[in-house]
Structure 1
Amino acid sequence: MSELPFLLLSILVLLSLPFKVISQDVNAEKTILLNLKQQLGNPSSIQSWNSSSSPCEWPDVYCVEGTVTGLYLGNKNITRTIPASVCDLKNLTYLSLYWNNIPGGFPKLLYNCTKLEELDLSQNYFVGPIPDDIDRLSSLRYLYLQGNNFTGNIPPQIGSLTELRTLFLHQNQFNGTFPTEIGKLSNLEELALAYIDFVPSSIPVQFGQLKKLRFLWMKLANLIGEIPESLSNLASLEHLDLAGNDLEGKIPGGLFLLKNLTNLYLFKNKLSGEIPQRVETLNLVEIDLAMNHLNGSITEDFGKLKKLQLLSLFENHLSGEVPASIGLLPELRAFKVFTNNLSGVLPPKMGLYSTLEEFDVSTNQFSGRLPENLCAGGVLQGVVAFENNLSGQVPQSLGNCSSLRTVQLYSNNFSGEIPAGIWTAFNMTYLMLSENSFSGGLPSKLAWNLSRLELNNNRFSGPIPPGVSSWVNLVVFEASNNLFSGEIPVEITSLPHLSNLLLDGNQFSGQLPSTIPSWKSLTSLNLSRNGLSGQIPREIGSLRDLRYLDLSQNHFSGEIPPEFGQLKLIVLNLSSNNLSGKIPDQFDNLAYDNSFLENYKLCAVNPILNLPNCHTKLRDSEKFSSKILSLILVLTVTIFLVTIIVTLFMVRDCPRREQKRDLASWKLTSFQRLDFTEANILASLTENNLIGSGGSGKVYRIAINRAGDFVAVKRIWSNEEMDHKLEKEFLAEVQILGTIRHANIVKLMCCISSEKSKLLVYEYMENHSLDRWLHGKKRSSSMGASSVRHSVLDWPTRFQIAIGAARGLCYMHHDCSTPIVHRDVKSSNILLDSEFKARIADFGLAKILAKQGEAHTMSAVAGSFGYIAPEYAYTAKVNEKIDVYSFGVVLLELATGREPNSGDDEDTSLAEWAWQQFGQGKPVFNCLDQEIKEPCFLQEMTAVFNLGLVCTHSSPSNRPSMKDVLEILRRCSPDNNGEKRTVSEFDIVPLLGNVTCLSSNRRSNRLSDDDDDGSLVYSV
């Protein structure tokens, strides 16, 4: 019995040993982690790590059986390199450092983490190549390196990481190749190589060996050649995205036999041939073959795709009829085949058996009627069928479709009356019915949110109802060339947001309303070719934003109101009326030479206009009692006038004579076909034509012909001190603008140079700069000035300006033979033409990059305060991401109405202010421009604000490319703007709801293509 206590004591000692060892290990790991915290610079986000508690109780630390196995240090604002001590945690299997600001090359010190299975280094500042010996991380199963600045080739040794399940390398700066050895990764389930400018390469046949692959993403990877048939062997494949490349040839038929395939993106390639006919009943959720060069017809096999939800075949060269079986698909939500050569009748059962949401067949050759049951499911958002040969009446069932947001049927052969419910559908925003044979009258009420109503060139008749005063959200009302009659009701002048009113070519009579209390936003008014009479209301002269005024071919009489002289009109047409008296002095010039034709009682002071001289009339009517007195007076006045005129001409022509003597010294270099000479330009460089000035010279508005065409001339001169700098700016602008052609980049017509000064001749932008429209009114108010007066720019116009500017920058960054970085993107360098289409201008600071993706260091930082990317200010490194940052500031200006340097204090920029609002959790709604914030635009404004946040991220690698920015904006666009839009683009929430949430609880910053046409979605 004496041995029993000894045995019990021995057992207790043995049982206590493991706990002592574990306690010692925990203490050791605590010491390692506290040292790691110090080496990382004690970031505030991990201040809760302390010596008084166990590491397994700390946030961001994961333990298994009392030992540290994982560190979650993503989005902790870490700016230092990874300390080697992290691998002193001997059981570390998971390490996440995503979305920090960690610099340097690939951290090879992690090779000492021998048990590491998952490594997430995404969205940092890592540079240089991936090392050739990366296979030393032999236990890796998940590797996330996306969103960095890695360059060079992806090493073949990566194919030796045989345990890999996930390999994400997208959105880096690789400029070499990707290896075929990736095909050896037999356990690989996810592979992302998107948004990388590889050397043009074909898809390796070896990729067909990845039997377990579920996700393959190679969008915008510079792929060429054909899609290998071997991809048909990927039996587990669910998501295949090869969009935005230069793939050609036919689509392998075997792809449509992959029974697990749910997403297939092949748009923006050069694929040809027919869509494969071997389509079985698959688990296929999406087929998106958009924007290729496919030829052939759509086959009947689509009727077998019982689970097909989205069919997008737009912007191809498809021909033939659409199979009627497509209308039988039970899960079909979206049908988009616009911009093809399709013909025949549309599937008559379309929408009858499915909950159809989107229907876009525009710009084809369809005939017959619209399907009767498009809205049978009750969720149809849009019917877009413009530019076809469709006929008959609009289906009555659409009148009961309360979910409709847009109906675009223009340029067809429709007839009959519009179903009453379409006018008043609760969510209706755009109703575009022009170029048909519709008849009937206008309703008293419209949908509360309707902003665009286009009825041109139809057979609508009757009066405009007094109930027009309830159309309070209408921005555009176009009803030209119809049979409307009666008087124009005074109620129409109360519409507060109306910017375009076109009622020309009708049968209106009577006088114009003389009260226009709410037309402060009106920019275009066309009432020509009617029977209007009486005097022209002088109140029109108070519409300071009016730019287009056409009252021609009516019966107006009396004088032209002198208040018209206050208008800044681009187009004025008062011809073919009964007007009398002297025209306002402001219109007495060649710019308005044809504005007053066939008004035989009008006169002008300036003899260059095609009107009688007012002074001649006056002298003919005067009678004097004495012939001698008359003769003396006439001679005296004549001599006096001649003396003054000769003096004035001598003074005025002094510069011209000087220019004429020096004309031979001027050199003209033309980039366009010109209708003028250097003499025309040089003769008009007078103060009367001056419209602006800056640090390097002045800008003139010069008429080049009697038709009223203008050019803008930028005159650059310098003193000796600044001569070299300005010479460089001049050469930069000529070099860039002289070689590129794009609708959204200001057109340089020619340059004229001499030793003393240099002239750049551009197309004239009637609406000046975006900056003047956004901020000019505020500045003039604060300065007590009235020289710059603009109305508030409405949101649809702002949105289209954003898209146009993005197109111009996207072209510069991605489509030029050598990329161009503007370096001074700002709202004052975005010019607007007569239709408010945006042009990127002022390339004096631009830099042509010798090699795409390669950063360049400038000797000095250039740009404007509030727009300069932070890394550019610190390092003077030049790449495309500095333009993305500046454009993000422009997006924030458009959404908030604030100036770029308008934070909460004088040291805070707009971008910093926006990020502060986000960081404090304040609603985006409170940040938006109060002057244009309306319920119908809130989703779009919020999306643009959030996109501005992403573009102005402090980390360049976290900013999207301009191509991605343009894709997102185009997806949000609510109207065509010259391009065909899908109906889903009127619903911003599904597209951008996850784009810029920027939530901090994400696991890893991945990119995915969850939208139907492959547009980039940032899942953050």
Structure 2
Amino acid sequence: MSHLCLSILFLLFVPMPFEATSQAIDTELTVLLELKRQLGNPSALAHWNSSSSPCDWPEINCTDNSVTEVHLRDKNITVGVPPTICGLKNLTYLDLYNNFIPGEFPTLYNCSKLEFLDLSQNYFVGPLPDEIDRLSTLVYLDISGNNFSGDIPPSIGRLPELSTLNIVQNQFKGTFPKEIGNLSKLEVLEMAYNEFVPMKIPPEFGQLTNLRYLWMTQTNLIGEMPESFNNLSNLEHLDLAINNLEGPIPSRLFSLKNLTRVYLFHNKLSGKIPKSVSALSLIEIDLSMNDLTGSIPEDFGKLQHLESLNLAYNQLTGELPTSISQLPALRDFRIFQNKLSGVLPSEFGLHSKLEGFEVSENQFSGQLPENLCAGGVLLGVIAYTNNLSGRIPESLGNCPTLRTIQLHNNKFSGELPQRLWTTFNLSTLLLTNNSFSGKLPSRLAWNMSRMEISNNKFSGEIPTGIASWSNLVVFQASNNLFSGKIPKEITSLSGLTTLLLDGNDFSGELPSEIISWRSLTTLDVSNNKLSGEIPVAFGSLPDLLDLDLSENQFSGKIPSEIGNLRLTSLNFSSNQLVGKIPKQLNNLAFETSFLQNSDLCADQPILKLPDCNSKLHQPDKLSTKCIAMIVALSLLASTIILLLSFFLVRDYRRKKHGQYLATWKLTSFQRLGFTKSNILSDLTENNHIGSGGSGKVYRIVVNRSGESVAVKKIWNSKEVDHKLEKEFLAEVEILSNIRHSNIVKLLCCISSEDSKLLVYEYMENQSLDRWLHGNKRSPIPGMNSVHHADAVLDWPRRLQIAVGAAQGLCYMHHECLVPIIHRDVKSSNILLDSEFNAKIADFGLAKMLSRHASAHSMSTVAGSFGYLAPEYAYTTKVNAKVDVYSFGVVLLELVTGREANSADENLNLAEWAWQQFSEDKPIVEILDPEVKEASYLEEMILVYKVGILCTHASPSNRPSMKEVSHILRNCYLPDGHAAKKVGSNFDVAPLLGRDTPYLSGYKHSEKGSAEDDNMINIV
């Protein structure tokens, strides 16, 4: 047959590729247009039409002119995924990340070639289907950030091609199967933040020999880590933090050659750290908050790439290997709260750019290493509660980056390096309980806010240059050798809250012009040689709570104005005071406040003081017996009448009071040290401290020690306001069942037919709103004038408040048996105790949700303008993200100093902040100038960015409170331990999962290593 005939036959019987391809794409076009219709025709897909090829649409990728990839992330999809999509026969890639898709796991079993499936950050509910193994071609599966629940089915272990499995942060409360260990190609396994039933890690997980990334933070793990983990030869990143693991660390874990990061903190691991450490690529090791014993392995000194070593909160003993101080990459070294001893190696700081050095609460002796700041980036030296001695190294005085020095409870001596007092960024200097000597400088570091030097041997006078210490908030200098007068210049420190000068040799009079001390809460000048009269101006200090002038030589009368103070402790004992004490102080709360002042008295004294009336001169005796008898008889008759009246009135009052008390019912939620009579008898205007939408608030002293409670009177009407009654019942129901250090404690409720009283712990520093914005408004009724609080509320304290409030909300949302949505989070509902610890308050609008529901319908909009999440405008369905939005506004208040409703004439604070953000304006320009300091800029910028993320218009684009709390806690650690360095490239990889729901708020890698996929930077 000729070539021509063969060609003709070929053309007749073989279909043309173009025609077949054209027909296939037409079919896929029909499928996609039907898919668009079933998805509700979202506006983001308006360009999907029949006049163009799907391969030209930005959401579609084609291979050989056939649809293989569909990218529908961030398309505002609010309906379920229809099976129609599997009409795309060559579909391999489906991305539905960050929408509002409800319902159960979608039916995609006819997508026979599907390799990549991302359903993360949606509203999916219910269990994973048992038949999930029908998706047998899957290589990548991400369902994180949903509400999937129940058990993980064993069938998930029958996905032979799977390399990435991400189920982070769902509502799984059942079990996970050992069959996951059968996924031989698995490289990334992420299961963090799920409340599984307490489970051991299956030994079968040790079969995952291709595993590079394992993340199981806070998944309720128990038992020992399986020894089979020694087989994970490709493991790079291991995070099993915040669980209940116990027993030893697998013997060869630190010998896995590819291992770079190990996070095992906050478990119950015991035994010794494995001595053999040959994973020379290790960058970060965190074994803190366990029960590890023994010594630190010498092999740690071989880890030339190690940047961070955290072994804090363990039971480690022995000396530090010298080789650790020679590591060239080490920047963060934390071994506090162990039982380590010996001398600190002298080479720390010489071989690496050390940023954090925390060795407190051990048994170290000898001197501090001389060259800690040789790298020029040291932020803190925290070495308190050891046996360290000698002088502070001179080199620390030449360290401009230094923010905090905490050396209290040691045996240091000698004078401080002169330049240390003025180190540029130093804000905290804690030297109490040592033997330091020398005099105070006239100039101090511009940023110094906290200086505690009590129980040392400092001497001389307080310099008049103290007026330049303008940012000082706490000054504790008790029990030193100071002498001379207390200079009047000290009264110019307007931000001062605590001043302790007791146990010195001061003499002369106290400064009388103290008007600038508007922030002072504690003043103790006891046990000195001070004399003169007590300044009348003390009575005008609005926040003074603790006043101790005892063991001095004060004379004259106690100013009556002092009676107007709301003091919790007072001591004027052992002076030379005379006259009548203020009537408000004639109270058992001050029973020991006036001892050894022989010429003090009181009107009708309750305290052990003479009656002032008994000291008055009596009239001259009359000379005639007649007048004497008349007077005697008159007195006798008057006495009889008074006694009869007294008993009649007493019996009537007792009866009346008993009837009155009987109408009230006390329901206790805590162990109480008072009765309902204590509360009811003091509900007077003198104790009224504020008012709110649901009634008045009183402060009532309930015992002799001066302990106070706050009482909210909900209503007082014969016709009960049912809305207020509903608020009352909601608040009692919630607060009586939860216990958390960052949620205000409800002690009891007292109710009658027409009034309801809620009795709380008293919060000395009242509301955050008052401190941030009180100076911008009229005083709150019943309160003293509000001072300029920003001078007191410095950035470390603001950050402390943000962390505390976040922890309270996180507990409500994620840790309560029944989740709680507050619905009215705002700065006026964040209360502050005497140490400025934040507590969430006012649950009158809160609702309790079932964990099985993603949202709850509200009949009416609740909350406060400026804090309301935008979804209130178009739906009555809300979830915990409304609280996240409101808390974001609070964070913006903290960093900008602006009020929620007054950022701009036409915009509230959240809208204004987003406008600044979208216009890419320099963040530093919008930070609160009152606290905007160079040493805190990175932390402030981070918190601002978290506020931006929290106030995203779309609920699914906001982080959870668990994520917010983790970020803020990583920025701030209590007890003086410095946090890791944060900033524009803050690494939240240990805290958040890949592709968390933040649009332009985050950068994340869509391709690359598993570690890159979990690296999320705030931008």
Whether the 8 Å contact between 1:101 and 1:955 is mirrored in structure 2 is: no
Cα deviation, 1:797-847, whole Å, max 9, x if unaligned, reads 333233333444445555566666556544444333333333344456666
Equivalent residue for 1:984, pick from 980, 985, 989: 980
Q: Residues 607 and 654 (structure 1 numbering): CA distance in 2 closer, same or farther, change over 3 Å?
A: same
**Aligned letter for 1:942?**
I
**SS at the partner of 1:453?**
strand
Equivalent residue for 1:789, pick from 778, 786, 806: 786
The aligned counterpart of 2:502 is 504
Shift of 1:38: 6.1
The aligned counterpart of 1:331 is 329
Q: Residues 1005 and 438 (structure 1 numbering): CA distance in 2 closer, same or farther, change over 3 Å?
A: farther
- Higher mean C-alpha displacement, 930-939 vs 349-358: 930-939
Distance in 2, Cα, partners of 1:674 & 1:399: 52
Whether the 8 Å contact between 2:1005 and 2:1015 is mirrored in structure 1 is: no
Q: Residues 379 and 938 (structure 1 numbering): CA distance in 2 closer, same or farther, change over 3 Å?
A: closer
Distance in 2, Cα, partners of 1:225 & 1:500: 48
The aligned counterpart of 1:107 is 106
The aligned counterpart of 1:702 is 700
Q: Residues 568 and 992 (structure 1 numbering): CA distance in 2 closer, same or farther, change over 3 Å?
A: farther
Whether the 8 Å contact between 2:160 and 2:184 is mirrored in structure 1 is: yes
The aligned counterpart of 2:317 is 319
**Aligned letter for 2:383?**
A
Cα deviation, 1:745-776, whole Å, max 9, x if unaligned, reads 44444555666656554433333333443444
Distance in 2, Cα, partners of 1:655 & 1:911: 57
Distance in 1, Cα, partners of 2:639 & 2:868: 57
The aligned counterpart of 2:837 is 837
Distance in 1, Cα, partners of 2:646 & 2:149: 67
Cα deviation, 1:682-726, whole Å, max 9, x if unaligned, reads 444444444455666654433333332333344566768648877
**Aligned letter for 2:986?**
P
The aligned counterpart of 1:273 is 271
**SS at the partner of 1:344?**
strand
Cα deviation, 1:559-584, whole Å, max 9, x if unaligned, reads 55565566544444444444455555
Whether the 8 Å contact between 1:549 and 1:571 is mirrored in structure 2 is: yes
Equivalent residue for 2:523, pick from 522, 525, 528: 525
Distance in 2, Cα, partners of 1:79 & 1:693: 43
**Aligned letter for 1:972?**
C
Q: Residues 425 and 585 (structure 1 numbering): CA distance in 2 closer, same or farther, change over 3 Å?
A: same
The aligned counterpart of 2:965 is 966
Shift of 1:651: 10
Cα deviation, 1:279-324, whole Å, max 9, x if unaligned, reads 2252211221121222333232323333322211111222333333
Q: Residues 22 and 442 (structure 1 numbering): CA distance in 2 closer, same or farther, change over 3 Å?
A: farther
**Aligned letter for 1:106?**
F
Distance in 2, Cα, partners of 1:413 & 1:951: 47
Taking the TM superposition and a 5 Å limit, the aligned residue runs for 1:480-879 are: 480-516=478-514, 518-561=516-559, 564=562, 567-580=565-578, 583-584=581-582, 587=585, 589-600=587-598, 602=600, 604-605=602-603, 607-611=605-609, 619-620=616-617, 657-661=655-659, 663=661, 670=668, 672-692=670-690, 699-714=697-712, 722=720, 737=735, 741-751=739-749, 759-780=757-778, 789-793=786-790, 794-795=793-794, 796-812=796-812, 825-842=825-842, 857=856, 863-866=862-865
Whether the 8 Å contact between 2:856 and 2:879 is mirrored in structure 1 is: no
Taking the TM superposition and a 5 Å limit, the aligned residue runs for 1:253-272 are: 253-272=251-270
Q: Taking structure 2 as the reference length, what is the TM-score of the superposition?
A: 0.85
Q: Residues 856 and 451 (structure 1 numbering): CA distance in 2 closer, same or farther, change over 3 Å?
A: same
Cα deviation, 1:835-894, whole Å, max 9, x if unaligned, reads 3333344456666677x6666857756853355667789887787655545544443443
Shift of 1:190: 0.9
The aligned counterpart of 1:119 is 117
The aligned counterpart of 1:94 is 93
Distance in 2, Cα, partners of 1:951 & 1:376: 40
- Higher mean C-alpha displacement, 162-171 vs 232-241: 162-171
**SS at the partner of 2:365?**
strand
Matched, 1:375 2:376: no
Cα deviation, 1:127-151, whole Å, max 9, x if unaligned, reads 2222333333333222221111112
**Aligned letter for 2:496?**
L
Shift of 1:78: 3.3
Q: Residues 776 and 329 (structure 1 numbering): CA distance in 2 closer, same or farther, change over 3 Å?
A: closer
Distance in 1, Cα, partners of 2:740 & 2:63: 60
Distance in 1, Cα, partners of 2:895 & 2:410: 36
Whether the 8 Å contact between 1:674 and 1:749 is mirrored in structure 2 is: yes
Distance in 2, Cα, partners of 1:255 & 1:215: 14
**Aligned letter for 1:945?**
Y
Q: Residues 238 and 1010 (structure 1 numbering): CA distance in 2 closer, same or farther, change over 3 Å?
A: closer
Q: Residues 649 and 401 (structure 1 numbering): CA distance in 2 closer, same or farther, change over 3 Å?
A: farther
Whether the 8 Å contact between 1:889 and 1:948 is mirrored in structure 2 is: yes
Q: Residues 18 and 670 (structure 1 numbering): CA distance in 2 closer, same or farther, change over 3 Å?
A: closer
Distance in 1, Cα, partners of 2:569 & 2:984: 36
Q: Residues 731 and 1000 (structure 1 numbering): CA distance in 2 closer, same or farther, change over 3 Å?
A: closer
Whether the 8 Å contact between 2:804 and 2:838 is mirrored in structure 1 is: yes
Distance in 2, Cα, partners of 1:472 & 1:507: 25
Q: Residues 654 and 382 (structure 1 numbering): CA distance in 2 closer, same or farther, change over 3 Å?
A: farther
Q: Residues 699 and 251 (structure 1 numbering): CA distance in 2 closer, same or farther, change over 3 Å?
A: same
**SS at the partner of 1:174?**
coil
Task: Give RMSD over aligned pairs.
Answer: 4.9
**SS at the partner of 2:966?**
helix
**Aligned letter for 1:984?**
K
The aligned counterpart of 2:456 is 458
Distance in 2, Cα, partners of 1:515 & 1:680: 38
Shift of 1:1017: 7.0
Equivalent residue for 2:138, pick from 137, 140, 151: 140
Q: Taking structure 1 as the reference length, what is the TM-score of the superposition?
A: 0.85
The aligned counterpart of 2:400 is 402
Distance in 2, Cα, partners of 1:1007 & 1:37: 31
Equivalent residue for 1:436, pick from 424, 434, 437: 434
**SS at the partner of 1:271?**
strand
**SS at the partner of 2:234?**
coil
Cα deviation, 1:430-485, whole Å, max 9, x if unaligned, reads 21111111111222332222222211111111222333333333222222221122
Distance in 2, Cα, partners of 1:780 & 1:1016: 47
Cα deviation, 1:777-812, whole Å, max 9, x if unaligned, reads 44426x999766344251333332333334444455
**Aligned letter for 1:73?**
L
Matched, 1:165 2:163: yes
Whether the 8 Å contact between 1:362 and 1:388 is mirrored in structure 2 is: yes
Matched, 1:942 2:904: no
List alignment gaps of at least 5 residues for structure 1: none
Q: Residues 67 and 517 (structure 1 numbering): CA distance in 2 closer, same or farther, change over 3 Å?
A: farther
**SS at the partner of 1:133?**
helix
Whether the 8 Å contact between 2:548 and 2:571 is mirrored in structure 1 is: yes
The aligned counterpart of 1:999 is 1000
The aligned counterpart of 1:129 is 127
Whether the 8 Å contact between 1:545 and 1:791 is mirrored in structure 2 is: no
Whether the 8 Å contact between 2:985 and 2:1018 is mirrored in structure 1 is: no
**SS at the partner of 2:271?**
coil
Distance in 1, Cα, partners of 2:542 & 2:623: 49
- Higher mean C-alpha displacement, 731-740 vs 411-420: 731-740
**Aligned letter for 1:149?**
N
List alignment gaps of at least 5 residues for structure 2: none
Taking the TM superposition and a 5 Å limit, the aligned residue runs for 1:129-208 are: 129-208=127-206
- Higher mean C-alpha displacement, 133-142 vs 286-295: 133-142
Whether the 8 Å contact between 2:744 and 2:839 is mirrored in structure 1 is: yes
